[in-house]
Amino acid sequence: LVDVNHDGTITQEELAKVMTAANVNASREDVAALFAQLDQNRDGQISLGEFVAGMKRLNKAVLMTGRLNAATQQQKQQQQAD
């Protein structure tokens, strides 16, 4: 799905295409920044291992953000109840 040319890696162009296909409104700079974070060994390609590791990091960040937002919301509700 992401590896358009089926060579086992993801290029920055392929990442941009899949983001566009997923209706993600990302600038070239956004794509480049995401690519740089995923391309851990800086070889200009994202391997399957790099992609999976990056998605795990992203998932953890999203989960932590959700937990922080929930805790903040609970704290605000508690303050309003007091």
Report how far residue 50's alpha carbon sits from residue 34's, in angstroms, rounded to the nearest whole number: 12
Report how far residue 39's alpha carbon sits from residue 2's, in angstroms, rounded to the nearest whole number: 15
The share of the chain scoring above pLDDT 90, in percent, equals 50
Please check the confidence at residue 74 and state whether its pLDDT lies above 90: no
Quick one: pLDDT at residue 20? 92
Q: What is the mean pLDDT of residues 72-80?
A: 84
Question: Could you tell me if 14 and 4 are in contact, meaning their C-beta atoms sit under 8 angstroms apart?
Answer: yes
Q: What is the rounded radius of gyration, in angstroms, for the C-alpha atoms of the chain?
A: 17
